[in-house]
Homo-oligomer: A and B are copies of this chain.
Amino acid sequence: MDLDQFTRSHFADASAAYEDAAYVIFGVPYDGTTSFRPGTRFGPRAIRELSFNFESYEPAAGIDLADVPLADIGDIEPARLPDLVALQVREVVADLARDGKFPILLGGEHTVTIGAVEALAPDCFVVCDAHLDLRDELYETPYSHGCVSRRVYDAGVTNIFIIGARSGCAEQYAFAGRVTLYTADEVRGRGITAILREIVAATAGKRTYLSIDADAVDCCETPGVGTPEPFGISTYDLREVVRTLAPQVVGFDYVEVCPIDAGQTAAVAAKLIREFIALRWKKEVVGGDQT
């Protein structure tokens, strides 16, 4: 891994050197295909800033993040053409995988997920998102934030679970028949616990990637996103997803934070990334295998 390609800046308590790290955070400040409101390029910066709002000790796990081998290698400098950005991310994540690191990607728009999934080639893809992201193309490019789950599907990862969606064109809703869709209303109606039980059962023993598009959450709770949708899942639902899947996934990203609010969207992101790492580390430390 050539660390010179990254700019410095860091997530709180990410004090390990790259060589010693088990978890590696990096950012992709890209928002070149955004539909509604740009600014997700500032997502990595905002999440890092808010990460300093929290104590290093995570009470949910009983873990102090300062004790975790966590590195933050900074941001890549993204290209402006989205297919090239996907390529950049793919190479970084492939490098991380080769070096035995667990990748934690901070977006940037959702497009950045594509390269990470391509690099890891998981069996399953769990995504929290207000949008189906199943378009084949948007605004003349197939590498768009509106095509993420479709690109993942086309990459052969057809075992897709979408949580919290409530927006898409008729064609996307039709295509959604090929994946497992839990709409936000369904999450609200059935409860996230029941849904996660199904997902855990379906992904047991399989290599799974977890992608969180911040707009999955109701925009009245976390308005700092590029394409805000009301009537979403709650931050508690999202926390349950993270707590449940953290110990078992092979890759993780948190994208689409657009810091135009009072910081609450980035605060939720930073907090859940911290819980993700602490809970995962706790499991590794206390034993039990890990996917």
Binding site for B on A (CB under 8 A): 1-3, 5-10, 18, 26, 31-39, 41, 45, 48-50, 52-57, 59, 64, 73-82, 84, 92, 95-96, 99, 101, 138-141, 144, 166-170, 173, 183, 218-224, 227-231, 235-236, 239, 260-264, 267-268, 271
Contacts and interface: CB of A to CB of B under 8 A. Distances in A.
Contacts of A230: 235, 264, 267-268, 271
Contact of A262 (B57, B218, B260): B260
B222 A220 contact: yes
Contacts of A228: 50, 53, 262-264, 267
B59 A95 contact: no
Given A9-B45, A37-B53, 4 more contacts: A54-B167, A59-B173, A228-B263, A230-B268
26 contacts: A1-B18, A5-B92, A6-B76, A9-B48, A32-B32, A33-B80, A36-B53, A37-B53, A37-B263, A53-B229, A55-B168, A55-B169, A59-B173, A77-B139, A78-B139, A79-B141, A81-B81, A81-B141, A220-B221, A223-B261, A223-B262, A228-B262, A228-B263, A229-B271, A260-B262, A260-B263
Given A52-B36, A80-B82, A228-B264, A8 B8 contact: yes
B77 A7 contact: yes
Contact of A261 (B139, B141, B262): B262
B38 A74 contact: no
A155 to B, nearest CB: 20
Q: How many copies does the complex hold?
A: 6
Ranked 4 nearest A-B pairs via Cβ: A9-B9, A38-B38, A6-B74, A223-B262
A138 to B, nearest CB: 8
Contact of A57 (B101, B173, B220): B173
Contacts of A73: 1, 3, 6
B76 A220 contact: no
B55 A5 contact: no
